[in-house]
Structure 1
C-alpha cells in the first residue's frame, strides 16, 4: 500500500475520532450512541458523494471489469477504511460488544484493505451504492471477473454482511410498525 494512502487512513481515523469527541463536547447530555451516529451519518454521506465522483462512465459504472482503481477511488477506499477502523474501536467502548457488529467491522476492514492492496474497487462499490439494489449484481460481476481470490471472497463477504444488516433493519421496521399499530388499536 502506498505511503500517501496509509497516511490518509491514519489522518482519517484521527479525523473521525475528533468529530466524535467534538460532538460529545457540543452535545454533552446526548448519548455515546448519538455522537457515533453523527459520525456515521457524515461518513455515509461523504462515502456516497466521493464514490459517485469516482465513477468514470455512468453508462457502465462497474466498467472496465477488474480494472485498477484510480487515485480518487483509492482515496475513497482509504477514507472508508479509516471510518471502519474508528467505528470498530468506538464500538469497543460502547456498553456491550456485539458479535455481529464485530464481524461486520472485521469483514469490512479486511475487504477495504484488500481493495487498497490490490487496487480494485468493485467489491467496495457495494457499500457505497444501494447495498441491496446493485449489490448482488456487483457481487456477481466481481465473482465472474478475473479478480484475486481475496477480492472475490471479500465481495461475497461484504454482500452477505449487507444482507444480514438489511434483514436486521427489516425486522426492526416490522417491529416498530407492529408496535405502532398495536398501540393505536389499544
Structure 2
C-alpha cells in the first residue's frame, strides 16, 4: 500500500485542528485532517456551545419569571418546553459542526479523513485502509469523559458531560 504524502497531518478536528489546517493551507501546504468522531470536538458537540445554549434558555425562563420585578406583566405562568430547548441546543451544535465541515471542505489542499488515527511510523499515520505520511504531525486529540474506577459505579446509571447532552 502506498502512503499518501502531505506537508502536514493534523490528528483531531476539534477546537484547534480546523484553524491550524486553515493557516497551513493558506501558507500553501497540503494537509490531512483526521477526525475520529465529530468535527468541532468537545466545544461544539458536548461542551461550550450546547451547554451555553441550554443556559441561555434557563436564563430566559428565569428573567420571564421575574418579569414583574421589571414592571412587565405576563398573561400566564412561564412554561418550559424541554423538547424545544433540546432541539435548539442540537441545532446550535449541528449548525456549528456543519459550518466547520463546509469550511474544511472548501480549503484548497486539505483532505478530511474520518476514522481512528494510529501511528505506523514516526511520520506515517494509518486511518482505516489509508496510510498518510508527512514531516509535520500535529496532535489535537482533545479529551473525553472518564468514569472513575470506583466500586459499584458499573452497577448504577450515571451521566458524563457527553451523555447528559443527549437526555430527552
Higher relative contact order (CA 8 A, sep 6+): 2
| TM-score for both structures, normalised by structure 2 | 0.25
Larger radius of gyration: 2
